[in-house]
Amino acid sequence: MSPPLLELDDVYKSYGEEQVLSGVSFEMDAGDVDVVIGPSGSGKSTMLRCVNRLTEINGGDIYLDGDCITDANTDVNELRKQVGMVFQDFNLFAHLTALENVTLGLRKVRGMDKAAAQEKGYEHLEQVGLLDQADSYPAELSGGQKQRVGIARALAMDPKLLLFDEPTSALDPELVGEVVEVMRDLAAEGITMLVVSHEMGFARSAASDIIFLDDGRIVEHGPPEQLFENPQAARTGEFLSRLTHEGE
Amino acid sequence: MGTPESTTTGRTIRGRAAGLTDQPLTLLTVAVFWTWLVVRWTNDFLLDGALIERNTSFFPTAPFESVASTLGSLASSLGPVGFPVGWVAGFFEFLAASIPYLPQLATGVWATILLTVLGIALGFFIAVPLSVARVYGGSATRSVALGYTELFRGTPLLAQLFVLYFATPLTAIIRELPTVGTGFIPAQAFWVAVIAFMLNSAAYQSEYIRSALNSVPEGQLTAARAIGLSKVDGIRHVVLPQGLRYAIPGWSNELVYLIKYSSLASFITVRELFERTDAIASETYRYTELFVLAGLLYLALVLSASLLMEYVEDRVAIPGLGTTSR
Ligand SMILES: Nc1ncnc2c1ncn2[C@@H]1O[C@H](COP(=O)(O)OP(=O)(O)OP(=O)(O)O)[C@@H](O)[C@H]1O
Ligand SMILES: [Mg+2]
């Protein structure tokens, strides 16, 4: 049996006195789409940032494809080639066109030549439906288009795992749909995704598992049906009902 | 849900503010100024005085003198109401008196430009690592960079010039270099001044660039690192291209300052515009004419620099990066 694609084993993280993650453990297999939910400040972003080592953990281990990625001699740049990230506020490179945003990593990290990088860049822009905006600068794109470029930029590196940190929460409501649609397509293609999102429609239909994080601990972890229909912990039910009320 | 788009990402493209490039009179002045300079330099430096003898002006003084005297007698015949005509006469007198000195001043302008451009351009290459060290360095590199900046911003430029010129072996070393002081390659004092301006300007430029780097949102480097770029590469390919654009207005300021501060080089015998003016004035006692003339030449240089920087700013402008709005 092959190892899980991603495994967090008893991960601890604190900022000074403040304990942000307190013994987080879970596994994901290749092709899984896990959605992380939880109140503000519960440590969701921190957990994602630990996986691509934008943040260093204080205890426990993280494994990608069986390799421990949290020991001291891991090459973080090598790791980040394999783990893409999509940000809440897009963070598109403001001085580059959509196409250049997608190809920067291909050229400067993967060392591809310009023509090959562009060809691959166009492919990924097409994948997110933005071929016609290839030459637009970020300031010329709508929020939804920016986020789709953000997704294309992450996809271009052919990552084993894609991390999404609230990819739709900075968007005007009418722009959420186009981004969710792209994410659904990726899920259907079998791309492994770890998604922090309170977009319940996406969680219900696309998630393999939902992870409810509260105060740095996993309170409940299971398939969507379980969490939505039959939550095991009282706090899960409360949180979800508050969420669905707000959503309406 | 429903958080409004952050202001940094939602910046809109603003129309370019009206600038110097939209003023035909400025453009004309600068064009005439540069045509004169280039023809003069070509004649004096490259063609060995083929068009006209060195130190001989292109413009004859006689017509200006006769206009001045005609207007002058007209003014006095008009009596008390003739004073505006008297002013115009005075202006023509000024022109007639200035014309003979223009060739020598053009040589001084050459040195001033070379001094400023070399100082600022070489300083730039020190300023970029300095500012990156200030923003992204560890505490040791940060203190070194800060110490450098404080030293050069905290002491008078004139003192820096004197120290380099008199108290270091720099002058002697440069004097021994081949070609220094021959043809249109200036003598050693000039190169000492270039080094002083480079070191000094680097300190000021690094301040402008540092604050520009700080205005690049943190998420830009995070995103660069997230696709696997090292910190250095992220700074190089993502932060600097944006930060340097933000730094252009500050950079234009620095250029304008340096054009004028380059006159301090006259204190260490560099034969730039101010030194030439002063030298001719003390020979001819025509202080007023010469310093007004020098002032006008400095003004033309500053206008040219502003125009150039406006052009550069327009050329590298990127929608949403906020460099085109002044
Ligand atoms: N760089 C940091 N330095 C200090 N404290 C931090 C840092 N990043 C996060 N924290 C703290 O860690 C806690 C968890 O933050 P985190 O951003 O992971 O929460 P979150 O679940 O993503 O919240 P949200 O839903 O608001 O995005 C918060 O209390 C936050 O203040
Ligand atoms: Mg968060």
**Average pLDDT taken over every residue of chain B:** 86
Query: Are residues B249 and B210 located together in one domain of the fold?
Result: yes
How many beta carbons lie within 10 A of that of residue B307, not counting itself?
A: 17
Answer whether A164 touches B (CB < 8 Å): no
Answer whether A174 touches B (CB < 8 Å): no
Q: Whose CA is nearest to atom 4 of ligand 1?
A: A15
Q: Is the Cβ–Cβ distance between A236 and A207 less than 8 Å?
A: no
Answer whether A84 touches B (CB < 8 Å): yes
Phi/psi class of residue B79: alpha, beta or left (left: φ > 0; alpha: ψ in -120 to 50)? Answer: left
Query: Does residue B31 sit in helix, strand or coil?
Result: helix
Q: What is the DSSP letter of B42?
A: I
Contact B226 A172 (CB under 8 A): no
Q: What is the CATH number of the domain that holds B152?
A: 1.10.3720.10
Answer whether A157 touches B (CB < 8 Å): yes
C-alpha dist (Å) from residue B229 to A190, B55, B225, B287, B318: 26, 58, 5, 61, 23
Pocket of ligand 1 (CB under 6 A): A 15, 20, 38, 40-46
Q: Whose CA is nearest to atom 8 of ligand 1?
A: A46
Show the domain range for B58: 24-99
Distance, C-alpha A210 to centroid of its chain: 13
Query: Which residue of chain A has the CA closest to B320?
Result: A139
d(CA A31, CA A187): 8
Query: Are residues B198 and B271 located together in one domain of the fold?
Result: yes
Query: Are residues B150 and B202 located together in one domain of the fold?
Result: yes
Q: What is residue B246's predicted lDDT score, i.e. its pLDDT?
A: 92
Query: Are residues B172 and B133 located together in one domain of the fold?
Result: yes
In a domain, B245, yes or no: yes
Q: What is residue B17's predicted lDDT score, i.e. its pLDDT?
A: 56
Tally of domains in chain B: 2
Q: What is residue A1's predicted lDDT score, i.e. its pLDDT?
A: 67
Q: Check whether A234 has a pLDDT greater than 70.
A: yes
Q: Is the Cβ–Cβ distance between B227 and A104 less than 8 Å?
A: yes
Answer whether A124 touches B (CB < 8 Å): no
Residue of A109, A137, A146 lying closest to B228 (CB–CB): A109
Contact A140 B321 (CB under 8 A): no
Q: Check whether A140 has a pLDDT greater than 90.
A: yes
Query: Are residues B206 and B64 located together in one domain of the fold?
Result: no
| DSSP secondary structure, chain A, as one string | -PPPSEEEEEEEEEETTEEEEEEEEEEE-TT-EEEEE--TTSSHHHHHHHHTTSS--SEEEEEETTEE-SSTT--HHHHHHHEEEE-TT----TTS-HHHHHHHHHHHTS---HHHHHHHHHHHHHHTT-GGGTT--GGGS-HHHHHHHHHHHHHTT--SEEEEESTTTTS-HHHHHHHHHHHHHHHHTT--EEEE---HHHHHHH-SEEEEEETTEEEEEE-HHHHHHS-SSHHHHHHHHHHHHHH-
Identify the residue with better confidence: B323 or A108.
A108
Which among B232, B240, B105 has a CA at the least distance from the CA of A93? B240
In a domain, B16, yes or no: no
Specify the ligand 1 atom closest to the Cα of A38. 21
Of B99, B116, B144, the domain-final residue: B99
Model pLDDT for residues B263-289, shown as the tens digit of each residue: 999 999 898 999 999 999 898 888 888
In a domain, B17, yes or no: no
d(CA A194, CA A207): 9
| DSSP secondary structure, B122-165, as one string | HHHHHHHHHHHHHHHS-HHHHHHHHHHHHHHHHS-HHHHHHIII
Q: Check whether B234 has a pLDDT greater than 60.
A: yes
In a domain, B15, yes or no: no
Q: Whose CA is nearest to atom 6 of ligand 1?
A: A15
In a domain, B51, yes or no: yes
What is the rounded end-to-end Cα distance, in angstroms, of chain A? 44
d(CA B199, CA B156): 12
Query: Nearest ligand to the C-alpha of residue A39?
Result: 1
Q: pLDDT-based confidence at A247, cuts 50/70/90?
A: low
Phi/psi class of residue B91: alpha, beta or left (left: φ > 0; alpha: ψ in -120 to 50)? Answer: alpha
Specify the ligand 1 atom closest to the Cα of A43. 18
Choosing from A20, A57, A243 the residue with most ligand 1 atoms within 8 A of its CB, the one to mutate for a pocket test is A20
**CA angle, corner A148, sides to A145 and A152, nearest 5?**
135
Of B42, B70, B99, the domain-final residue: B99
State the ipTM, two decimals: 0.93
Percent of the residues in chain B that have a pLDDT greater than 90, as a whole number: 51
Query: Are residues B90 and B192 located together in one domain of the fold?
Result: no
In a domain, B326, yes or no: no
In a domain, B156, yes or no: yes
Q: Is the Cβ–Cβ distance between B102 and B39 less than 8 Å?
A: no
Rounded CA Rg of chain A? 18
Q: Which of A3-12, B88-97, B215-224, B301-310 is predicted least confidently?
A: B88-97
Q: Is the dihedral of CA A187, A189, A194, A195 positive or negative?
A: negative
Query: Are residues B60 and B72 located together in one domain of the fold?
Result: yes
Query: Are residues B221 and B95 located together in one domain of the fold?
Result: no
Query: Are residues B219 and B271 located together in one domain of the fold?
Result: yes
Chain A, 43-82: which have a CB under 8 Å from a chain B CB? 52, 54, 77-78, 80-81
Which stretches of chain B sit within 8 Å of chain A by CB? 1-6, 8-13, 217, 219-220, 222-230, 233, 237-238, 241-242, 245, 318-321
d(CA B188, CA B201): 20
Q: Is the dihedral of CA A48, A54, A55, A56 positive or negative?
A: positive
Answer whether A91 touches B (CB < 8 Å): yes
Of B84, B99, B114, the domain-final residue: B99
Q: What is residue B206's predicted lDDT score, i.e. its pLDDT?
A: 95
Specify the ligand 1 atom closest to the Cα of A55. 1
In a domain, B5, yes or no: no
Answer whether A198 touches B (CB < 8 Å): yes
As given in the structure block, the two tokens for residue B26 are 């400025």
Q: Is the Cβ–Cβ distance between B33 and B102 less than 8 Å?
A: no
Query: Which residue of chain B has the CA closest to A141?
Result: B10
Between the CA of A22 and the centroid of ligand 2 the distance, in Å, is: 17
Residues of B within 8 A of A153 (CB-CB) are 227
Residues of B within 8 A of A78 (CB-CB) are 228
Q: Check whether B5 has a pLDDT greater than 50.
A: no
In Å, how far is A219's CA from the nearest CA of chain B?
23
Query: Does residue B261 sit in helix, strand or coil?
Result: helix
Q: Check whether B2 has a pLDDT greater than 90.
A: no
Query: Nearest ligand to the C-alpha of residue A13?
Result: 1
Answer whether A94 touches B (CB < 8 Å): yes
As given in the structure block, the two tokens for residue B123 are 């300083």
Query: Are residues B119 and B217 located together in one domain of the fold?
Result: yes
Contact B242 A54 (CB under 8 A): no
Percent of the residues in chain B that have a pLDDT greater than 70, as a whole number: 92
List the strands of the sheet with A6-15, edge to edge.
A18-28, A6-15, A59-64, A67-68
Query: Are residues B74 and B202 located together in one domain of the fold?
Result: no
Q: What is residue B289's predicted lDDT score, i.e. its pLDDT?
A: 84
d(CA B288, CA A171): 66
Mean pLDDT for B102-116 is 91
Model pTM score: 0.87
Query: Are residues B156 and B259 located together in one domain of the fold?
Result: yes
Q: Which domains does chain A have, with CATH numbers?
A: 6-247 (3.40.50.300)
Query: Which residue of chain B has the CA closest to A197?
Result: B1
How many helices (H) and strands (E) in chain B?
14, 0
In Å, how far is B11's CA from the nearest CA of chain A?
6
Q: Is the Cβ–Cβ distance between B258 and B202 less than 8 Å?
A: no
